[in-house]
Amino acid sequence: MAADSMEIDDALYSRQRYVLGDTAMQKMAQSHVFLSGMGGLGVEIAKNIILAGVKALTVHDTKQCTKWDLGINFFIHEDDITSQRNRAEATLHRIAELNPYVHVATSTVPLDETTDLSFLKQYQCVILTEVSLLLQKKINDFCHAQQPPIKFISADVYGVCSRLFCDLGDEFEVLDTTGEEPKEIFISNITQSNPGIVTCLENHPHRLETGQFLTFREVNGMSCLNGSTHQITVVSPYSFSIGDTSDMEPYLHGGIAVQVKTPKMFYFERLEKQITNPLCLVADFSKPEAPLQIHIAMLALNHFQENFGRRPNIGCPQDAEEMLKIAMSISETLENKPQVNGDIVKWLSRTAQGFLAPLAAAMGGVASQEVLKAVTGKFSPLQQWLYIDMLDIVTPLEKMGSEEFLPRGDRYDALRACIGDSLCQKLHDLNVFLVGCGAIGCEMLKNFALLGVGTGQDKGLVTITDPDLIEKSNLNRQFLFRPHHIQKPKSYTAAEATLNINPYLKIDSYINKVCPATENTYSDEFYTKQDVIVTALDNVEARRYIDSRCVANLRPLIDSGTMGTKGHTEVIVPHLTESYNSHRDPPEEEIPFCTLKSFPAAIEHTIQWARDKFESSFSHKPSLFTKFWQTYLSAEEVLQRIKSGESLEGSFHVIKTLSRRPRSWTQCVELARVKFEKYFSHKALQLLHSFPLDTRLKDGSLFWQSPKRPPFPVKFEFNDPLHYGFIVSAAKLFATVYCIPFTEKDLSEETILKIVSAVKVPEFRPSNKVVQTDETARKPDHIPVSSEDERNAIFQLEKSILSNEALENDLQMKPISFEKDDDSNGHIDFITAASNLRAKMYNIEPADRFKTKRIAGKIIPAIATATAAVSGLVALELIKVVGGYPADAYKNCFLNLAIPIMVFTETAEVRRTEIRNGISFTIWDRWTIYGKEDFTLLDFINAVREKYGIEPTMVVQGVKMLYVPVMPGHIKRLKLTMQKLVKPSADKKYVDLTVSFAPEIDGEEDLPGPPVRYYFVQEDN
């Protein structure tokens, strides 16, 4: 984003633009930021804000690189230590190459109580890490006193506790507090009363909050509401009140209420004042008192450092006692005199010299988002403290001797001081399978490298896979990739980059998708070798599949995902928790077929219609055409077969395409002009012919009332950029699929005008076709071809052959695959023009190219801050999984950095299903039966009864029913061998079957059972 032009590089920033919007992006690109402390937390914040695209960042540090830094700062390498480099200078070029648009500078001058702070006036935001509390207060006072105030953020990670503080000045205005799209509500009724009650159409919940503002349009009857803005009070999920409507005309029909975003003012206090009366965000509602308790503990640590010039020694009881005394006296100085939590103080004292890199990743993600808020005014800022602790990790380590935590002189000393050497060794010996090397995948690999995952001498391996190649838009979040990696495989590149962070990591990379088709590679044997699976995926289907493989093989799984500033993490542990498949999100609402085809009410409908048109015209039809002529080698052969009475599937449509195919650029433009008329004029005329404007339904109400909008034909105007844009983009795509070359001259306005002016546009002739109005009706799969159509096809094909228009070249088409990120291919141009023309025809507010691209391309908005936070939280849960912690230690998290909220919850305990007579199972149970070569289905059923005390009445393999007694012929199967029934491949040792049992009361449904793994022969144990 060059500072002078302010044009946003969409190829790089497109996913982030959908999160922040262009105004915020441009404000950010003009901001100068100062960051002090290039330790583990500082480098995380630097990475995230450089990826986001501030104009300039100065990184400040006075310390030299040490061995310790290798385990906390992913951009410090071993040669930086031997060369005794300053931490800021060592990391400078590595952070600078994350984003060529950001100017990164270093500062190594001391920053202390005697420093003249006037140099900070050039910055809009100052971030402090690893700075004493006294100096934080001094710098905060200076920043707060400036006009306008310099935004101040301080953040620290000490051992298992972390803290973030924000002060954005006395008053800080935010234009958009949530970043959510303004809600549009279709209205079904407005009462003539005080207050007037507005009811939503067809009981769609409005999801509004009291105090929000709405503006109205297209209200019939009570028309004085149109264009007016009202503050609302929520009455129910489906209705709200808007003030006095008793003097207005009675409401007739229609109307849309649109949410109006209003600026909100936030107020901040200085650090000095906030220390004694802190305003904290509560992240774990099961421990609402925790933030204040950590606040006291971390203040005690700061005072300890000031008193003794050092942090408490690892595992030193005297230091812990001293810190507890300090905490007690601090508590007395706070306004509410909160209770001191001795355990928190003790653990902070024990681990204060250490550093949990994943905790820094999580806090760094949150802190970076606060920086972006400070310089853009987008989203609600943190007020004013956030504390995240990892006491869950250390509490089970209570009985370990202090020698476990002492330094050994390697890169893991900072981690060892927090979790002990035994747990470090378990991480080194870990076999982990990471699925996906996108944004979360890159961040996870960085966390693995800092934790030393898969670095054990004899054990330990990180296996990664991702089928994708690197695109330019990935570089904005996937921080292991650089511009010279574009079009290289993500997994190989990520593996190489991870070894730069930690060369001792053992890593195997693949480029396969993880799905049923690759079960030979990712077999049960492969899964059983893994200690934990971590998913970094962007779709639910893949998550569900991998979850099912983890459950089948009793492997722990940690899942996470982000969408914009929102993120989630979920821990799945065998025998302790439910699995990912245990809960199902409601399916996405599909747009009804009749809405798409004839009755769009929102821009999303017209975009989906245009996307479908693209798919059918330029992908689906060309594919069918190509496939047909690969099956039948010549037009003559096809003609002969049809004449002899053969029915060739798809022949009618293929012959129609062949007879109408354009053969020159001129004909492509003509075809585009004819399509314009058909889509945007004739379609409207036909609908108004079928349903004139005064049409009424059986109950007397108007047919054309909200949400149905009557269409009006669009008259073609060459000088209208939208009309012209449709003709050019459609003609280019037709030329591409029909393999017709075109030149720059062909694309000139002069050439297009000449062709379009000469086109004879067919006149509209109304038809008696039935228009589908049933919202539950689905798109018909197959439209039958009449005998007249077939006769017509023979005539058309004969005509094409006679005129030499069915030669080998004529039988070729080139299907186009939709690609949203290549601006030169014209795909989004066509969809934007077609969608907006249809919107114009139905009087729907159009969408710009940017919004159209997001909806048509189903782009998931993304930003590095949320990705970093989520992956840090995953790595913290990984430590617990590796340590074999009890169920109550694990935490799932939901966060939304925009609001901001962060909610930790305990994992859902696994449900136990009762069969009967005290026999029960969970999703993690698997029964096993060992057979032999002549083992029959009856033997299998008897074996289950003898071993588990209950007789199966039904046996199923996947979707294949092996034995259902009520099915014809199934009783005979009891005598068949299992080998014959299942037909396993030669190398298959077992099969997983599902059994169910007769209900206790006749007529009830069969009782489900756990999976039963049947081994074809007895295994040698």
**For the segment 586-616, what is each residue's pLDDT rounded down to a tens digit?**
677 788 888 888 999 999 999 999 999 999 9
Closest CA to 926 of 1014, 1016, 1017: 1014
Structure tokens at 645: 């009475």
Pairwise CA distance, residues 868 & 443, whole Å: 6
Which residues have a Cβ under 8 Å from the Cβ of 473 and sit 6 or more positions away?
11, 12, 13, 14, 15, 821
- Per-residue b or e along 246-257, where b marks 16 or more CB atoms closer than 10 Å to that residue's CB: eebeebebbbbb
| 471-490: average pLDDT | 96
Pairwise CA distance, residues 725 & 435, whole Å: 42
Whole-number pLDDT of residue 868: 98
Report which of residues 566 and 992 the model is more confident about: 566
Pairwise CA distance, residues 284 & 894, whole Å: 11
DSSP 460: -
Whole-number pLDDT of residue 295: 96
Q: Alpha helix (H) ranges present in 738-863?
A: 749-758, 787-802, 827-841, 849-856
What's the start-to-end Cα distance of the chain, in Å? 64
User: Above pLDDT 90, what percent of the chain?
Assistant: 75
Is the pLDDT assigned to residue 781 strictly greater than 80?
Answer: no
Cross-strand partners of 943:
none
User: How far from the centroid of its chain's Cα atoms is residue 336's Cα?
Assistant: 41
Pairwise CA distance, residues 553 & 153, whole Å: 46
Q: Alpha helix (H) ranges present in 354-452?
A: 357-376, 391-394, 413-419, 421-428, 439-451
Pairwise CA distance, residues 462 & 428, whole Å: 10
CA dist 414 to 39, 132, 410, Å?
12, 20, 9
Pairwise CA distance, residues 70 & 78, whole Å: 7
Is the pLDDT assigned to residue 517 strictly greater than 50?
Answer: yes
**Secondary structure (3-state) at 183:** coil
Query: Which H/E stretch holds residue 528?
Result: helix 524-529
Q: Which residue has the tokens 């006294």?
A: 134
Closest CA to 284 of 872, 870, 906: 906
Please count the CA atoms within 13 angstroms of the CA of 193 that sit on its side-chain side. Answer: 9
Pairwise CA distance, residues 688 & 261, whole Å: 37
Query: Which H/E stretch holds residue 947?
Result: helix 937-948
Structure tokens at 4: 């002078």
Sign of CA dihedral 826, 829, 834, 837: negative
Closest CA to 666 of 773, 601, 745, 586: 745
Q: What single string gives the DSSP state of each residue in 834-873?
A: HHHHHHHHTT-----HHHHHHHHTTPPPB-HHHHHHHHHH
Phi–psi pair at 214, nearest 5 degrees:
-130, 150
Is the pLDDT assigned to residue 654 strictly greater than 90?
Answer: no
List, for residues 761-778, the tens digit of each pLDDT value: 999 999 888 888 777 777
Is the pLDDT assigned to residue 1 strictly greater than 50?
Answer: no
List, for residues 861-911, the tens digit of each pLDDT value: 999 999 999 999 999 999 999 999 999 999 999 999 999 999 999 999 999
- Is 162:387 a contact under the CB 8 Å cutoff? yes
Structure tokens at 931: 């057979």
Is the pLDDT assigned to residue 207 strictly greater than 60?
Answer: yes
Pairwise CA distance, residues 847 & 606, whole Å: 10
Whole-number pLDDT of residue 5: 45
Whole-number pLDDT of residue 4: 42
SS3 content of the chain, % helix, strand, coil (to 5): 40, 20, 40
| 467-495: average pLDDT | 96
- Is 257:240 a contact under the CB 8 Å cutoff? no
User: How far from the centroid of its chain's Cα atoms is residue 559's Cα?
Assistant: 12
Structure tokens at 39: 């330790």
Pairwise CA distance, residues 571 & 579, whole Å: 8
Residues marked as catalytic: 594
- Is 133:306 a contact under the CB 8 Å cutoff? yes
Q: Which residue has the tokens 């005390």?
A: 949
Please count the CA atoms within 13 angstroms of the CA of 636 that sit on its side-chain side. Answer: 5
| Most confident range, picked from 249-263, 284-298, 369-383 | 369-383
Cross-strand partners of 532:
432
For residue 782, name the pLDDT band (cuts at 50, 70, 90): low
**Secondary structure (3-state) at 535:** strand
Is the pLDDT assigned to residue 399 strictly greater than 70?
Answer: yes
Phi–psi pair at 745, nearest 5 degrees:
-65, -40
For residue 643, name the pLDDT band (cuts at 50, 70, 90): confident
Closest CA to 455 of 506, 507, 412, 416: 506
Whole-number pLDDT of residue 3: 40
Q: Burial level of 896, CB count in 10 A (0-12/13-18/19+)?
A: buried
List, for residues 661-675, the tens digit of each pLDDT value: 999 999 999 999 999
Is the pLDDT assigned to residue 401 strictly greater than 80?
Answer: yes
The one-letter amino acid at 766: P
Pairwise CA distance, residues 76 & 89, whole Å: 10
List, for residues 745-765, the tens digit of each pLDDT value: 999 999 999 999 999 999 999
List, for residues 2-32, the tens digit of each pLDDT value: 444 468 998 899 999 999 999 999 999 999 9
Pairwise CA distance, residues 560 & 868, whole Å: 11
Whole-number pLDDT of residue 784: 64
List, for residues 524-557, the tens digit of each pLDDT value: 999 999 999 999 998 889 999 999 999 999 999 9
**Secondary structure (3-state) at 568:** strand
Cross-strand partners of 174:
264
429: left (phi over 0), alpha (psi -120 to 50) or beta: alpha
DSSP 529: H
DSSP 1005: P
Query: What is the number of residues in the chain?
Result: 1021
| 89-99: average pLDDT | 97
**Secondary structure (3-state) at 165:** strand
**Secondary structure (3-state) at 715:** coil
Minimum mean pLDDT among 7-11, 83-87, 465-469: which range?
Answer: 7-11
The one-letter amino acid at 931: G
Q: What single string gives the DSSP state of each residue in 312-357?
A: PPTT-HHHHHHHHHHHHHHHHHSTT-PPP-HHHHHHHHHHTT-B-H
Closest CA to 391 of 423, 348, 357: 348
List, for residues 827-842, the tens digit of each pLDDT value: 999 999 999 999 999 9
Pairwise CA distance, residues 825 & 550, whole Å: 41
| 59-66: average pLDDT | 97
Pairwise CA distance, residues 639 & 801, whole Å: 9
The one-letter amino acid at 910: V
Minimum mean pLDDT among 372-376, 631-635, 928-932: which range?
Answer: 631-635
Which residues have a Cβ under 8 Å from the Cβ of 133 and sit 6 or more positions away?
299, 302, 303, 306
Please count the CA atoms within 13 angstroms of the CA of 992 that sit on its side-chain side. Answer: 13
List, for residues 115-160, the tens digit of each pLDDT value: 999 999 999 999 999 999 999 999 999 999 999 999 999 999 999 9
Pairwise CA distance, residues 132 & 794, whole Å: 88
Report which of residues 330 and 800 the model is more confident about: 330
Q: Which residue has the tokens 């900070």?
A: 120
What does the mean pLDDT of the chain come to? 92
Which residues have a Cβ under 8 Å from the Cβ of 155 and sit 6 or more positions away?
41, 45, 127, 128, 129, 162, 163, 164, 165, 363, 364, 367
The pairing of beta strand 264-267 with beta strand 280-281:
unpaired
Which residues have a Cβ under 8 Å from the Cβ of 184 and sit 6 or more positions away?
256, 257, 258, 259, 602
Whole-number pLDDT of residue 633: 80
Q: What single string gives the DSSP state of each residue in 461-475?
A: EEEEE--PBP-GGGG
- Is 90:80 a contact under the CB 8 Å cutoff? yes
Whole-number pLDDT of residue 701: 87
Q: Which residue has the tokens 């088409």?
A: 813
Whole-number pLDDT of residue 593: 85
The pairing of beta strand 532-535 with beta strand 507-510:
unpaired
